[in-house]
Amino acid sequence: MKKMTPIIALITALFVTSCMNEQKVADLLKEKPEIIFDAIKAEPAKFMETIQEVANAAKGEMEKKRVEAEKQAFEESFKNPLEPKIRDDESFRGPKDAPLVIVEYSDFECPFCSRGYNTVNQLMKKYEGKIKFVYKHLPLSFHPQAMISAQYFEAIRLQSADKAFAFHDEIFDNQKQLRLGKKFLDKIAKKVGANMSKLKKDIDSDKVKDRIKEDMAEAAKFGIQGTPGFVFNGIPVKGAYPVSHFDTIIEELKKRNLVKL
């Protein structure tokens, strides 16, 4: 039989040797906390061992609840899929009528979005011709170059979707250079062939800024607060998950006859 710790033994003794209820035990320990302190001092190692056991048990229980909550949320997302707005002038990669649609809410300066960028590239190759990729903006306030980068992207997109995505790729391939600010952004814009005069006129326009605001509002509506965030055929993916996570969603979509590849 496992030996009881001093505190448990004390409380047990109070119950079995007298007519003392729980409230009275609590009152006693409150009035004389030195009882507990003395018990701890008597066997500190046992006390720490008990604390660790309780912490591990709590951690295990919390993990079970987390996993169960994720399962429920995952199931619910198939019953009530999200519906991102695909605007008439939306720019995208891949076929227009692709069976798989991935919408990303991203921040050009976020290091996790760099992982998301690599994941999307892998998915586009793995499911070539079957994925449409839409890039939307969620520039976070604590990333000083995020908003201006989004404005550059949208200003270039007004000229050419291909040039805008080339700009997108250049940033994520050289993300650390964003610390150089507009000097770096201008360099990339010129490299992808943007009309710099038009870019400078459009970058602070309401058309550009309002579009970014629309993306941010949509992300907030979907409960996407951090980056990257994705909506994959209506299923939310919050974070820089690996390709295997998207594979799981695809298999589930196929199993439920929600998509045919």
Q: What is the pLDDT of residue 60?
A: 79
Q: For residue range 17-72, list pLDDT tens digits in order.
A: 555 556 666 776 778 778 778 777 888 888 788 888 888 887 877 877 777 777 88
- As a whole number of angstroms, the distance between CA 27 and CA 49 comes to 26
pLDDT band at 10 (very low <50, low <70, confident <90, very high): low
Domain 92-255 of CATH type 3.40.30.10: yes
Pairing of strands 100-106, 131-137: parallel
Annotate 59-78 with b (16+ C-beta within 10 A) or e (fewer): eeeeeeeeeeeeeeeeeebb
Annotate 86-108 with b (16+ C-beta within 10 A) or e (fewer): eeeebbbbbeeebbbbbbbbbbb
Q: For residue range 108-128, list pLDDT tens digits in order.
A: 999 999 999 999 999 999 999
Q: Is 203 exposed, middle or buried (0-12, 13-18, 19+ CB in 10 A)?
A: buried
Q: Is 154 exposed, middle or buried (0-12, 13-18, 19+ CB in 10 A)?
A: buried
Cβ pair 237, 229 in contact under 8 A: yes
- List Cβ neighbours of 71 (8 Å cut-off, separation of 6 or more): none
Asked if the model's pLDDT at residue 14 lies above 90, the reply is no
Q: What is the pLDDT of residue 3?
A: 54
Domain ranges of the chain: 6-79, 92-255
How is residue 209 written in tokens? 């800024």
Q: What is the pLDDT of residue 49?
A: 83
Asked if the model's pLDDT at residue 85 lies above 70, the reply is yes
Q: For residue range 140-197, list pLDDT tens digits in order.
A: 999 999 999 999 999 999 999 999 999 999 999 999 999 999 999 999 999 999 999 9
pLDDT band at 15 (very low <50, low <70, confident <90, very high): low
